[in-house]
Amino acid sequence: TDIDECSDGTNTCAPIGSSCTNNAGSFTCSCNAGYAGDGETCVEDIDECSSGAHTCAPSGSTCTNTVGSYTCACNVGYTGDGETCV
């Protein structure tokens, strides 16, 4: 019988910003989108806005970094969803 370390809390994955995947006889940790690290340490939030890893419109929008993600908003005078601004 396999012990699910992800469910019983015996895994060593980071408590914030990581996901635990149960495997036969073991488990793996990986950092969630927006976080960097090895899965056991995921404390660094990736700034998608500064790194360019966002889908905001290249002009007419503002990218705002959030923990684990980002938001896009059209600037004043533009309309759209932040990813497309006209």
Q: What is the pLDDT of residues 13-33, one digit of tens each?
A: 999 889 999 999 999 999 998
CATH topology of domain 46-85: Laminin (2.10.25)
| 31 and 46 Cβ atoms separated by less than 8 Å | no
Domains 1-45 and 46-85 are alike in CATH topology: yes
Residues 72 and 62 sit within 8 Å (Cβ to Cβ): yes
**pLDDT confidence of residue 12:** 96
Q: Where are the domains of the chain?
A: 1-45, 46-85
Name the DSSP class of 51: H
**Which fold does the domain 1-45 belong to in CATH?**
Laminin (2.10.25)
Q: What pLDDT band is residue 46 in, cutting at 50, 70 and 90?
A: confident
Residue 6 token pair: 């992800």
pTM (whole model) above 0.75: no
Q: Which two tokens stand for residue 1?
A: 């019988």
